[in-house]
Amino acid sequence: MTEIANVDFSNRQSLPGVDPQFTHRWSPRAMQRTAIPQDDLAALFEAARWSPSCFNDQPWRFYTSTDSTFDTYLNLLNASNQTWAKNAALLGFIVSRQHFRHNGKPNVHADFDAGAGWMALTLQAHRLGYHTHGMAGVNYDAVYEYLGLERENFRVICGFALGLRGDPATLTQEQQAKETPSGRVPLNEIWITADR
């Protein structure tokens, strides 16, 4: 498994004690079309399966491309995402079921839970040497139609690309300029302890 070297994590300094799996996970656009072994793929979705969810409802669904459907999945992305995602090993869509299994009532936490599943999948992918890249830039109407999903029962949250990191030279100049791990807002902006 080859990884392109020279990733600059210098703007990802974190407090001591934080596991590097969090700061070293990032979302490159340059990926390799190299097929991912089935066992590795299964491990990613198995990791997602063990995520927590409201009422243990497990409302996440991950639809993924195969060799024969890759181009169809690619065409469901917006034009900008297609320019780089065409080199991914696999494309997918994250979907949440909007009603609880046990009583059929609306599950307002379904997307939150699907996000937890996505993060588990992503960290497992990183552990195995792969990268994921979420994509809100998809043609949602076309995805609902292609996957045969009714909007009353399912929400298409976003698409994603998965693969080994590829050569940044495959990207446009604009994409190359952004092909580096991003920083974050300060901790005190997201962790609020003051009384309000």
Ligand X SMILES: Cc1cc2nc3c(=O)[nH]c(=O)nc-3n(C[C@H](O)[C@H](O)[C@H](O)COP(=O)(O)O)c2cc1C
28-57 residues in contact with ligand X (CB under 6 A) are none
Residues 32, 58, 65, 81: which binds ligand X (CB under 6 A)? Answer: 81
Residue 195 CB, nearest distance to ligand X (Å)?
31
Stretch that binds ligand X, among 13-21, 46-54, 131-139, 187-195 (CB under 6 A): 131-139
134 touching ligand X, by CB under 6 A: yes
Stretch that binds ligand X, among 37-45, 96-104, 106-114, 127-135 (CB under 6 A): 127-135
Residues 4, 7, 26, 98: which binds ligand X (CB under 6 A)? Answer: 26
- For residue 40 the two structure tokens come to 């590795």
Residue 80 CB, nearest distance to ligand X (Å)?
7
Residue 86 or 100 having the CB closest to ligand X: 86
Residue 55 or 74 having the CB closest to ligand X: 74
3-state secondary structure the chain: CCCCCCCCCCCCCCCCCCCHHHHCCCCCCCECCCCCCHHHHHHHHHHHHCCCCHHHCCCEEEEECCCCCHHHHHHCECHHHHHHHCCCCEEEEEEEECECCCCCCECCCHHHHHHHHHHHHHHHHHHCCCEEEEECCECHHHHHHHHCCCCCCEEEEEEEEEECECCHHHCCHHHHHCCCCCCCCCHHHHCCCCCC
Residues 182, 190, 194, 196: which binds ligand X (CB under 6 A)? Answer: 182
Is the distance from CB of 155 to CB of 96 less than 8 angstroms? yes
Residue nearest to ligand X as judged by C-beta position: 134
Could you list the residues that contact ligand X (CB under 6 A)? 26-27, 81, 133-137, 158, 181-182
